[in-house]
Structure 1
Amino acid sequence: MTKSETVRLTTAQALVKFLNKQYIDIDGQVTPFVEGVFGIFGHGNVLGLGEALYNDAGHLKVYQGHNEQGMANTAIAFAREKLRRKIFAVTASAGPGSANFVTAAGNAYVNNIPILILPADTFASRQPDPVLQQIEVESSAATTTNDALKPVSKYWDRIQRPEQLMTALLKGFEVLTNPETTGPVTICLPQDTEAEAYDYPKSFFEKRIHVVKRQQPSEYELKSAVKLIKQSQKPVLLVGGGAKFSDAGHALKEFSEKFKIPLVETATGKSTVTYDFVNNLGGAGVLGTSAANKVLAESDLLIGAGSRYTDFTTSSKTGIDPSRTKVININLSRMQALKFEALPIIADVRDTLQALIKEPELDNYQSKFDNLEKYKSEWNQERERLAHTNYDDPDFQPEIAGHYSKEKLANYANTLGTHLTQTSAVIAINEHIDPNSIMVSAAGTLPGDVHRIWNPKAKNTYHMEYGYSMMGYEVAASLGIKLAKPDVESFALVGDGSFLMLHSELVTALQYHKKINVIVFDNSGFHSINNLQITHGDESFLTEFTTSDNKVLNIDYAKVAAGYGAKSYHVHTIEELLAALDDAKKQSSSTLIDVKVLPKTMTHDYGNAWWRVGDPEVSVNKKVNQSFADTQKHLDHAFKY
């Protein structure tokens, strides 16, 4: 190869040049695939990748992060909001900086979200070893901190020679752009290799278009599905995350309308179809609505559209009876499609549903459900009740079983200075903000509340991370959403426990003038887990935010945000909440609303939903023994797959 056919670049410079030339083609629309890079520079990446980005970033947008896990969460949320059609890369220093990527990579892996992770690494030559922040493993000199990323990466590689970059990037981008395999791709960059030069072929940097083809169902798969549908009386369509990423909303509605089949939703699938659609009965499973769980209990056929069937969706395998309910799984992943001994359809959700709609044998088919309107009306009435739960009502009772005594609840009310219930606050926000605003949540009690009572009014406005249930995702994700959709308001609904875990990217949002709105629900504790303790017979232990002399903490989160430079608000009533939302809408900078709410005022289980947890088989506590006995009764009715 002649010099005119090559270009001499460092490994890092070649990496940046390659990222600029990657495009994706989905349904004939060709767009750049890599939006930019989030980085925290330090030992290992500042002189290599930092130099390359500073001198010629091309079209890539480069942002400074403030926590490696946080900025990776921002990148994950961005890719989710773009329906996996555009990504960010993230980079950090060798050692602890890159180790902070592991948790976020697990999030991306579980949720099948593409993110390119570029951790700095120790020297490929090993001559300066052990360098700053290097671990030494007796069993292998090749092992570094970045090996911890292997189990949570869909593709992992380490570049020890500059020319290895070419094969690594090509393999990595095949994974990133493939809907079946997509997830975190990790390419480790030893700092000496990162700075070494090589004569790269110019052809490597030509515009490369990754064409994503929609996998079509086979004739056998369609005919088999038609047969099962025709045999069924009460089929139910389960809308999973794969349906959202397939952009299958219109097909879902048309399928449901034609065959009178109710829709129920997983946490990721929610808002693929808006709640005002007549046959949408809302969230399913442990965190589901009464309406959704009633039709699931009656169903004789479950049609899974892009779901991986977590324990919350299936009520720990007690919500689907294989002796009565057959299953069809439409999924690009064969592993997911084969679950529950289903008829697997390894294909795109949207196109499969459209093909079934056109099947002549189903022209006259409709389900035998005659109570969908009744079930939905009953649930709407329950939601209305939850919207007006009132601590000052003489007959008020907390929603959660095993609730606190009146004296203990009064202590929280007095300390936090609030009588506001969590359900009333969530519904008030849902009804008051602009319908096109995007809500994000992730962990604690809020995912259960919003899965049940948050009614999306516009398509794809509900962003829930509940595959990994990752505390600390919400604030960073809100920034990712804003980067993906700058013209809409982004709201992070986050518990106080999750906010304390990680909120560093609020500073990033302020730094780059990307307005986000953070709503902290402060009930002074990890009350989701406190609920789990109490309802399974335990006493409260290390889940409440109390001092060593047992006083409830009252943290001023509004003051924390104000210290960063955000506009902040203190809220103790619905009136104050609505006023804060109105004022926040007028702001051009990020806001934080500190909402004090009472513990035990979140939503509770509906239907026969059950979640299997590890109840101790032996305990000195009689309540724990009773909980174990109750678990055994449920297990007698759980289905083994």
Structure 2
Amino acid sequence: MSTRATRRLTTAQALVAFLSKQFSERDGERRRLIEATWGIFGHGNVAGIGQALVEYGDEMPYHQGRNEQAMVHAAVGYARQSGRLATHAVTTSIGPGATNLVTGAALATINHLPVLLLPGDTFATRPADPVLQQLEVPYAGDVSVNDCLRPVSVYFDRITRPEALVPAALAAMRTLTDPVATGAVTLALPQDVQAEAYDWPEQFFAERVWTVRRPEPEPAELDAAVRAVLAARRPLIVAGGGVRHSGAEEALRRLVDDTDIPVASTQAGKGALCHDHPADVGGIGHTGTATANELARQADLVIGVGTRWTDFTTASGTLFAADGVRFLNINIAPYDGHKMAGLPLLADARTALDALHRRLGAHRVSPPYEIDYRTAKSRWDRQVSKVFEGEESARPTQPQVLGALDSVVTGDDIVINAAGSLPGELHKLWRTRSHDQYHVEYGYSCMGYEIPAAIGVGLAVPGRPVWALVGDGTYLMLPGEIVTAVQENIPIKIVILQNHGYASIGGLSESVGAEGFATAYRFRAEDGSYTGDPLPVDLAANAASLGLRVLRPKTLGELREALAEARAADRPTCVYVETDSSGAVPGAPPAQAWWDVPVAETATRAPAVAARKEYERQAGDRRRHL
């Protein structure tokens, strides 16, 4: 008979107790892995996880959410700001609560950001069949709505017996701390199993430390990488999100200081070098700067560091146009390291950059190349300053809103955005002052991410000003978490730009011959189109009704004052501004590179016919790098 020590707990209690004892460690820094749990309760989790959080309230902090998707966004914002070394868990009931997790799970997995999802599930013992909110699948009795989470999770398990929690929980922690495999991890918890008691081995509740690895590059791959850099005449580094995930910003700076190789950045990599570094040439690709994109067109070696080479980065395969251009991919993930038919250097980004730096010795790019890109960088910086300028007494354009914010922030501030036309203008125009200031979620570009993510970031770095920049379309998606910010007094600053519709898709619609159809927030005109007067929607009043203090500047001058006031506020504050979209004032520079959005191959309306001709012209420049 076994004499091992046990503890009798419900499955839910055991899970919460287990999570409170898990730690991550990298470079000797240890921190708690699951630092809090978000939850909305229904019949599928209230008696299980809900009761367990009451039971273990001293060990597991809890945050009350208003929308399940938003809770995941808050957890993801926390995880990103924490360098993927810590995250939050999210618990929901079965049914709509569980399926509301899918969008947030997809965002987490696409961006390689860890989050633990704990949805309730239907009864494992099936005492009644079907029960409330059960999906009946005639060909499979073991399917529930939680199976929707399988394709957007990097690990999924359904805990149909208490003892099955032990290997599942360990596998979940292993996956969350794996720098290659991390993303959304789902443990589906049948509501009867959550409340079932079991004699758990005490060892299950011992402290565990999960090491976040920094694999070294293979010598042969490093040799090939060094030869490629030494042979290049016009090398260009493309910094992706992996630079930030690895904490490799200083390693990149040391390499660049000694080699003078210019650095362009993806959305996730922006800030890898601060904007005033002489080698930082800004964003790359469809939303990039003229400087970075011209360098990309002429580069003979492109060094990707922690990038997935998405279509925006490559301008849908049209950007890297030089004959014989080659790619060197520094990436911890083999899947990404072999893209673009590149030379793979499979390793942690910081480790690989340090190794490459040592091997390159005194190598530098040619002085004419350095002068060339630095001159172009200065020219672009002057253009940005001109875009930011405006009459203090006039209604600001959207770029001027960014310029006004640029004038009041420091390196302490964090700017969050995800969707609409703002990501493109931020990528081109924003001047990053610190490595973690720029927080634009563009892997999934999810409308509604900004406000809950700002809450997560605010929890991760209390005391730093956190800005959520949202258009009216994004605001309407998920404003409910404002109540959470007010409840917890998390002093986020929300800037609502009112442009009366989907500005980004409206512009895209015009460019592809769809004539802006159904992209404006307006009444119907007599012909049935949405071209009447703007809707009388008062988003500022809505924000105020949720508990925010709201400032309503009318002019560019008033906007600067309002942003400074919001920055100094010690409570959640909103700055609401109607933007000038008349076109009377120059806006941001147009796209510097193409993006492939297929246009109708046959049409009778003139805008679509013209757009198709332009599409075919641009598409002719696509190439596969083999």
TM-score of the aligned structures, taking structure 1 as reference length: 0.93
1:635 paired to 2:619:
yes
CA distance in 2, matches of 1:540, 1:299: 37
CA distance in 1, matches of 2:58, 2:33: 13
CA distance in 2, matches of 1:555, 1:378: 41
Indicate the RMSD between aligned Cα atoms, in angstroms: 1.5
CA contact (8 A) 1:226 1:356 kept: yes
What's the counterpart of residue 362 of structure 2?
A: 363
CA distance in 2, matches of 1:606, 1:563: 38
Matching of residues 558-577 of structure 1 within 5 Å: 558-577=540-559
CA distance in 1, matches of 2:522, 2:342: 49
CA contact (8 A) 1:226 1:362 kept: no
CA contact (8 A) 1:262 1:280 kept: yes
Shift of 1:585: 2.9
What's the counterpart of residue 588 of structure 2?
A: 603
CA distance in 2, matches of 1:444, 1:604: 16
What's the counterpart of residue 505 of structure 2?
A: 529
Matching of residues 11-90 of structure 1 within 5 Å: 11-90=11-90
Read off the aligned partner of 2:559 and give its amino acid letter.
Answer: L
What's the counterpart of residue 374 of structure 1?
A: 375
Matching of residues 420-459 of structure 1 within 5 Å: 420-459=396-435
Read off the aligned partner of 2:396 and give its amino acid letter.
Answer: L
CA distance in 2, matches of 1:217, 1:435: 33
CA distance in 2, matches of 1:448, 1:277: 21
Question: Which consecutive segments of 4 or more residues in structure 1 shift more than 6 A?
Answer: none
CA contact (8 A) 2:298 2:321 kept: no
Secondary structure in structure 2 of the residue aligned to 1:303:
strand
CA contact (8 A) 1:70 1:503 kept: no
1:583 paired to 2:568:
no
Shift of 1:177: 0.4
Matching of residues 458-473 of structure 1 within 5 Å: 458-473=434-449
CA distance in 1, matches of 2:389, 2:401: 9
Unmatched runs of 5 consecutive residues or more in structure 1: 393-417
CA contact (8 A) 1:329 1:338 kept: yes
Matching of residues 305-344 of structure 1 within 5 Å: 305-321=305-321, 323-344=323-344
TM-score of the aligned structures, taking structure 2 as reference length: 0.96
1:489 paired to 2:474:
no
1:624 paired to 2:625:
no
Read off the aligned partner of 2:600 and give its amino acid letter.
Answer: P
Unmatched runs of 5 consecutive residues or more in structure 2: 526-531
Read off the aligned partner of 2:613 and give its amino acid letter.
Answer: A
CA distance in 1, matches of 2:154, 2:266: 24
CA contact (8 A) 1:445 1:602 kept: no
Deviations 1:46-82 (A, max 9, x none): 0001001101134321011000001110000100000
CA distance in 1, matches of 2:492, 2:222: 45
Secondary structure in structure 1 of the residue aligned to 2:91:
strand
CA distance in 2, matches of 1:55, 1:503: 31
CA distance in 2, matches of 1:91, 1:137: 24
Q: Percent same amino acid at aligned positions?
A: 38
CA contact (8 A) 1:389 1:423 kept: no
Deviations 1:375-434 (A, max 9, x none): 111101110121125699xxxxxxxxxxxxxxxxxxxxxxxxx73211111111012123
* More displaced stretch, 83-92 vs 575-584: 575-584
Secondary structure in structure 1 of the residue aligned to 2:46:
coil
**Using a 3 Å threshold, how does the CA distance of structure 1 residues 324 and 613 change in structure 2: closer, same or farther?**
same
Deviations 1:232-271 (A, max 9, x none): 0010011100001111111111111211100101101111
Read off the aligned partner of 2:588 and give its amino acid letter.
Answer: T
CA distance in 1, matches of 2:597, 2:419: 17
Deviations 1:340-381 (A, max 9, x none): 00001110111111111111x542342451312211111011
CA distance in 2, matches of 1:582, 1:640: 48
Deviations 1:560-585 (A, max 9, x none): 11111211011221111112122223
Secondary structure in structure 1 of the residue aligned to 2:405:
helix
CA contact (8 A) 1:530 1:540 kept: yes
CA contact (8 A) 2:23 2:30 kept: yes
CA contact (8 A) 2:13 2:55 kept: no
Read off the aligned partner of 1:62 and give its amino acid letter.
Answer: Y
* More displaced stretch, 89-98 vs 1-10: 1-10
* More displaced stretch, 72-81 vs 361-370: 361-370
Shift of 1:622: 2.4
**Using a 3 Å threshold, how does the CA distance of structure 1 residues 606 and 136 change in structure 2: closer, same or farther?**
closer
What's the counterpart of residue 254 of structure 1?
A: 254
How many pairs does the alignment contain?
614
* More displaced stretch, 595-604 vs 268-277: 595-604
Secondary structure in structure 2 of the residue aligned to 1:350:
helix
CA contact (8 A) 2:298 2:322 kept: no
Secondary structure in structure 1 of the residue aligned to 2:168:
helix
Read off the aligned partner of 1:163 and give its amino acid letter.
Answer: E
Secondary structure in structure 2 of the residue aligned to 1:286:
coil
